[in-house]
């Protein structure tokens, strides 16, 4: 059969990225505190394409993604997938991304009712020659309480759910749970899927004693991460879904 993809292209324009996105497959995620967790990942995978080649063999890309038996968030495992993509397609550069839900084991703070918390995660890795770039991102729900509202009010202070997105670049192993802990420990309070009355009181009073602006939370998370020698680059974004406004408050730190 005629192989149109392998025919010569005369336009002289190479492609930086060509590939597939939206491949869903079961996968395993490494956990700090026990066996690997099973989840479903949504994958994208790309390679570059030389200017003299008409098309990419995209079925090979999909096949390699579906056959890959690696685990995230392990940089060496990502390198294996990217190396196989580059080798199979004769590419000089390859890239893969996977998005997936991860459930952090939690328990309500007083009554200790088990209530796993969903954290949205993203891994993005690229390989050019032997140079690997690896990034891990988590989006963590937390609670913020406004310091200004507490300072000026005789009773209470406005508080709300917020999301902390932490993205770190590192070629060394960083655990998802470590990034979740950075977000939760610097917020006014963690959030929990299940709270009884005793738990709700604990969370409410605890947040009142730890007021945080979005600016505070973004800076405190970044400061903690910058102390970690494994972290080569970072991005921290805090979005607070303000309870007394019809808009969100946002703060962001990017290094370098």
Round to whole Å and give the CA distance between 105 and 28.
16
SS (H, E, C) the chain: CCCHHHCECCCCCCEEEEEEEEEEEEEEECCCCCCCEEEEEEEEEEEEECCCECCCCHHHHHHHHHHCCCCECCHHHHHHHHHHHHHHHCCCEEEEEEEEEEEECCECCCCCCECCEEEEEEEEEEEECCEEEEEEEEEEEEEEECHHHHHHCCCCCCEEEEEEEEEEECCCCCCHHHHHHHHHHHCCEECCCCCCHHHHHHHHHHHHCCCCCHHHHHHHHHHHHHCCCCCCEEEEEEEECCCCCCCCEEEEEEEC
The pLDDT of residue 3 is above 80? no
Round to whole Å and give the CA distance between 73 and 178.
12
Topology at the third CATH level for domain 4-255: Urate Oxidase (3.10.270)
Confidence of residue 222 (pLDDT cuts 50, 70, 90): very high
Q: What is the mean pLDDT of residues 84-96?
A: 96
More confident: 5 or 58: 58
CA-wise closest residue to 77 among 21, 139, 18, 132: 132
Q: What is the mean pLDDT of residues 16-45?
A: 96
- For residue 253, the cross-strand partners are 236
* pLDDT tens readout for residues 122-166: 999 999 999 999 999 999 999 999 999 999 999 999 999 999 999
Confidence of residue 230 (pLDDT cuts 50, 70, 90): very high
How many residues does this entry show for the chain?
256
Confidence of residue 33 (pLDDT cuts 50, 70, 90): confident
Cβ-count burial 192-206 (b if 16+ within 10 Å, e if not): beebeeebeebbeee
The three-state secondary structure class of 137 is strand
Reduced to 3 DSSP states, what percent helix, strand and coil does the chain have, rounded to the nearest 5?
25, 40, 35
Confidence of residue 212 (pLDDT cuts 50, 70, 90): very high
Q: What percent of the chain has pLDDT over 70?
A: 100
Give, as one character, the DSSP assignment of residue 209. Answer: T
pLDDT of residue 23: 98
Place of tokens 């738990």: 199
Contacts of 42 (CB under 8 A, 6+ apart): 22, 23, 24, 98, 99, 100
Confidence of residue 100 (pLDDT cuts 50, 70, 90): very high
Q: What is the mean pLDDT of residues 76-81?
A: 96
Mean pLDDT score of the chain: 96
């Amino acid at each position: 059969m005629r192989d149109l993809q392998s025919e010569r292209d005369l336009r002289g324009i190479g492609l930086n990225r060509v590939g597939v996105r939206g491949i869903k497959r079961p996968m395993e995620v490494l956990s700090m505190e026990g066996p690997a967790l099973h989840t479903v990942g949504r994958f994208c995978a790309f390679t570059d394409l030389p200017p003299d080649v008409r098309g990419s063999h995209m079925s090979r890309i999909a096949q390699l993604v579906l056959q890959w038996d690696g685990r995230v968030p392990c940089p060496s495992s990502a390198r294996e997938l990217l190396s196989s993509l580059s080798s199979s397609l004769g590419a000089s550069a390859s890239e893969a991304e996977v998005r997936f839900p991860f459930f952090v084991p939690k328990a309500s703070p007083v009554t200790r009712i088990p209530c796993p918390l969903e954290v949205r995660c993203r891994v993005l890795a690229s390989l050019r020659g032997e140079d690997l770039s690896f990034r891990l991102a988590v989006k963590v729900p937390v609670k913020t309480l406004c310091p200004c509202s507490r300072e000026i009010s005789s009773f209470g202070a406005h508080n709300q759910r917020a999301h902390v997105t932490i993205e770190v670049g590192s070629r060394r192993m960083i655990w998802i749970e470590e990034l979740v802990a950075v977000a939760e420990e610097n917020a006014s309070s963690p959030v929990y899927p299940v709270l009884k009355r005793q738990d709700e009181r604990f969370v409410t009073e605890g947040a009142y004693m730890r007021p945080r602006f979005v600016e505070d939370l973004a800076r405190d998370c970044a400061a903690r991460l910058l102390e970690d020698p494994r972290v080569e680059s970072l991005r921290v974004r805090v979005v607070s879904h303000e309870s007394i406004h019809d808009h969100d408050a946002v703060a962001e730190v990017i290094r370098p």
